[in-house]
Structure 1
Amino acid sequence: MQRRCVRRALAMNTRSPNILWIMCDQLRHDCTGFAGHELVQTPNLDTLASQGVVFENAYCASPVCSPARASWLTGLYPHRNGQLDNYSHDLVDEPGRVLHHDCITIGDVLKDHGYRCGIAGPWHLGHDHMPQHGLTDFWCTYSYQGKHPDRLNKYFNQHGINDMYGRGVPDHHEHVQYMRHAAWTDPRQQRTTWTVDRSIEFLEDCDDQPFFLFASIKDPHPVMIVPPDLLNLYPLESIPLDPTWRDPLKGKPRYQFEGKTRVASSVRDRDFLCMMAHYYALITHIDEQVGRLLKYLDQTSRSENTIVVFMSDHGEMLGSHGFVSKRLMYENSVKVPCVIHWPAGLPKNQRIRTPLGGVDLMPTLLNLAGQPVNEKIDGRSVAEAICSKREPTLQPIFSEISYNKACGPENAETAMVLDGNFKYVWHRDDLDELYNLEDDPLEMANLAGHSEQENKIDMMRGTFKDMLQRNGAGPYAWCTQ
């Protein structure tokens, strides 16, 4: 049922609101100006946040690209939507690599209710070459993978440009594993620019029909190709290393010592700072391009009745606890930035501290747009709360990483429960983790081995089991035994 505040917002308009969902890849939750970062320059995003709703504690349902995206779009946990690990064209027949075809996404719902739906940028949920899940009116995606033509690569070929993402970056740096980076001057070689160009192309072709556009920005996920002028904004001497950079991991699970994304001890601090400068500069580039897209909405008089979402699929460790990339349950891997902006229907300058789960955004957006929400999904809508400018009811947050031998020991079967100030990480074959985030926000002291915490662990295990009992255990049957 639509709540009164949502009905009021819809009554102010003669048509359903448009939805522009901008999702970055691997953007750390605290690396924007509106999140309080003192160095990273994001003026356009800061303005968007000041005029909208900021979720200060948004958590993905899995700190892995494809499972996180699938959960955001379906409102279902990975073990329910079938997307257990990253899609890869050569593993398409392997279980858990593709979003179940019968899962209902936000695109499916909006398409059935008269929206023109499309995507610009990576899909990353399987069969990336073919329109699917309601996003059928504008399918302009790329994956760098498989035998099918790649839209971005085709664009590069048409303009005589070297595809530095798919074929390698000349003079690139990889002092830090998995974090290739380089500076390059040709703006046509920026994939975020390409995605925003395609997004504007979609908007130019829209008439009076309400639209849903999933603008999927691959940056700042490596390979990081950065405009040199933006790199100059971040001199190395101005960048501090993460305070947990040299965490000895005392009392932590053994897989963290063995993980492929743990930064080698041979990496010099200065080389790591160089990588961080590229990461920060790329975020500023994203800000510029998102600003260009938002300006187009203004120029075409669509801003007032367009719900704009800006967020990331998951986070980035960026040196926290000595790691890069993701696939860990530390805050910097599992938390994401998240802003919702809708001048016609939402209060301005609102900050929500109550955690938002990785399955909650899809039903929230559908509620805001006045569309039906399937009661069988895992997520809950917080539309009524944010329309009323109040905190949503506090509920436990869950995240998961499913096992896949190809991905190494850091991808062991893992479940996370966040309940109040405590975070519990349940490993199938390793030492568990328990952190009091109020007393230990940097997650340095693992309390799981302390006898006085046994009751807390039993309680949080019970919370996870209750969720599995409601929604189905799937590959987490071991948690119920």
Structure 2
Amino acid sequence: MSPRHVVLLIADQFQFQFQRLGTNDPIARTPHLDQLAGEGVNYTNMFCSNPQCTPSRVSMQTGIYPHEAGVMAIYGFGGHTGHLSPDRLTVGKVFRDAGWTTAYFGKSHPLDALGYDHFREHGVGSPLSGVDRAVTTDAVRFVSGHDPQQPLFLTVSWHEPHPAFEHVAPFDQHFPPEQMPIPTTYEDDLAGKPPYQAERRAMPHGGVDLDRLRDELSCYYSMISHVDALVGQIRAALEARGMWDDTVVLFTSDHGDMMGAHGFRLKGVLPYDELYRIPFILRVPGLQLERSVVDDLCVNVAQPGTLLTAAGLPVPTEMSGGSVLERALRTSPPQDECVFLEHYAAYWGLHPFRIARTRDWKYVRHYGEAPWEELYNLVTDPGELHNLADRSDLTPTRAELRRRVDEWWQSTYGQDLEYYESAAFRNWGHTTLVSDNALWTDASASQ
């Protein structure tokens, strides 16, 4: 019998590069997530399609890449107003049409095109921990009133550990700033890398000194612990209704944070794993696992298909990202792994690039006015410190990865910079931008 309920738990800007979970990080305190990982599958090489909130969340809803959906940036960045079309198939719509009750509480970017029967968006308040407690209260109240015999697809989307960073009590007592570990790449001189990286690090809020970094790491860990506690509240509500034993649960994030790596703070316009690598913990009751830890290279375009597969539903052909559930049923990764990632623009500027990443290599192909290339040997240089794109002895490696990423781009209908900067593409969503923003800022918006 397929599980009756599906619960998707989303954190925002939760970095997995340094394993911010208690199962792997000696500093982190995440008992509820550790328990969830022990009951399911921990995908340790999951990457987001794009290190910006809205584009990544588009992939998490549609099962396709941001450029395929026409959402390349967060609304308003660089004047782009494209948003997810109401006609686009989403995982919420598939569950709803299959007879599930669908409910969404929390951060959404925005909700009106996603296909949920019930939703509430609290907007961005201060502090974020208070907003997230309200989100959790809404979700718990909804679960408490739900008929356990009716299939439920519930999404709970928290704002933490996204900035503004805060020390969340009582968790902050475990993370003294002076004891926070500094990333080994903090002193990166950025030599041989695209000049915009050094320019960005010199901007206000781009770089970070050690005192500020230690304080923000302390905040970050405490916010993660707070999210973990909220996960525990959702679990308790499901257990109280007798729903937990037949509920699929996925915990994930939309993207990471630099957290001092390479001397940077925050997110955006950079190709590093700190931004792209995300948590992905999946629990499927009754699933006979070959592996409880899956280190296969995966991308969150597979998230919708994974949830549908776990619920016993077919994955629509429109969701070309497929599913990663079957990875846990195999004993080893597939041969010749290569995943593809993208970026277009953020508040730090317009820096479009696409990435081909294997276990051994990362290749970054910038396009537009500054067609730089980056190549990193992840075996000898896992911190991505040394750009080897100019090495003549690596020309075959660079050429092969360039071919693969270009073929992927073309096969997924990727366009050039001129197209994405055209007025037609930048402005196609402007008629609804005002209402979308009103929904985002209206803490009382609900249905």
TM-score w.r.t. length of structure 1: 0.80
Match of 1:57 among 39, 45, 56: 45
How many Å apart are 1:64 and its aligned residue? 0.6
Residues 395 and 473 (structure 1), Cα distance of their counterparts in 2 relative to 1, 3 Å cut? same
Q: Aligned residues, how many? A: 415
Distance of aligned partners of 1:265 and 1:339 in 2 relative to their CA distance in 1, 3 Å threshold: closer
The structural deviation recorded for 1:391 is: 3.7
Residues 212 and 141 of structure 1, relative CA distance in 2, 3 Å threshold: same
2:361 counterpart letter in structure 1 = F
Of 202, 209, 212, which residue of structure 1 is paired with 2:150? 209
Question: Aligned pair in 2 of structure 1 residues 385, 270: CA closer, same or farther (>3 Å)?
Answer: closer
Q: Against the structure 1 CA distance between its residues 377 and 265, is the aligned structure 2 distance closer, same or farther, given a 3 Å change threshold?
A: closer
SS in 1 for 2:229: helix
1:365 alignment partner AA: L
CA distance in 1, matches of 2:208, 2:316: 49
Bigger mean CA deviation after superposition, 53-62 or 221-230: 221-230
| Deviations, residues 157-216 of structure 1 (Å, cap 9, x unaligned) | xxxxxx5359xxxxxxxxxxxxxxxxxxxxxx6222112111112212321211111111
Distance 1:116 1:276, change over 3 A: same
Determine if contact 1:25/1:220 at 8 Å carries over to the other structure.
yes
In the alignment, structure 1 residue 113 sits paired with structure 2 residue 98: yes
Q: CA RMSD in A?
A: 2.5
For 1:224 and 1:265, locate their aligned partners in 2 and report how far apart those are by CA, in whole Å: 15
Alignment equivalent of 2:246, drawn from 297, 305, 314: 305
Give the Cα separation in 2 of the matches to 1:265 and 1:465. Answer: 30
Structure 1 counterpart of 2:415, one-letter code: G
Deviation at 1:79, TM superposition (A): 0.5
Identity %: 28
Q: Cα gap change, 1:110/1:408 in structure 2, threshold over 3 Å: closer, same or farther? A: same
1:45: which partner in 2? 33
Q: Which residue matches 2:361?
A: 422
Q: Distance in 1 between matches of 2:65 and 2:380?
A: 29
Secondary structure of residue in 2 paired with 1:364: helix
1:21 partner SS: strand
Is the CA contact 1:255–1:430 (under 8 Å) kept in the aligned structure 2? no
Q: 1:199 to 1:387 in 2, by over 3 A?
A: farther
The change in CA–CA distance for 1:285 and 1:77 in structure 2 (over 3 A counts) is: same
| Alignment equivalent of 2:68, drawn from 80, 83, 87 | 80
Deviation track 1:116-159 (CA, whole Å, cap 9, x = no partner) reads: 111110111x4x5xx43221x21111334xxxxxxxxxxxxxxx
Where do residues 344-423 of structure 1 align in structure 2 (5 Å cutoff)?
344-345=286-287, 347=289, 350-387=292-329, 391-392=333-334, 395-403=337-345, 407-409=347-349, 411-423=350-362
Q: 1:417 to 1:317 in 2, by over 3 A?
A: same
CA distance in 2, matches of 1:75, 1:46: 27
Say which of 197, 218, 235 aligns to 2:176. 235
In 2 relative to 1, CA 267–373 (structure 1 residues): closer, same or farther, beyond 3 Å?
Answer: closer
Q: Kindly provide the amino acid, as one letter, of the partner of residue 345 in structure 1.
A: L
Segments of structure 2 that go 5 or more residues without pairing to the other structure are 421-447
Distance 2:204 2:376 in 1: 23
Aligned to 1:400, what secondary structure does the other structure show?
strand
* Partner in structure 1 of residue 108 of structure 2: 123
Letter in 1 for 2:150: Q
The TM-score, its normalising length taken from structure 2, stands at 0.86
- 1:268 is displaced (CA, Å) by 4.0
Change over 3 Å in CA distance of 1:194–1:266 after alignment to 2: closer
Q: Could you say which residue in structure 2 is the equivalent of 1:193?
A: 133
List per-residue Cα deviations over 1:62-92 (Å, max 9, x = no partner): 011100111121111010111111135xx79
Distance 1:266 1:203 in 2: 43
Match of 2:281 among 311, 332, 339: 339
Out of 9, 29, 38, which is 1:22 matched to?
A: 9
Secondary structure of residue in 1 paired with 2:193:
coil
Report deviation, 1:99: 1.2
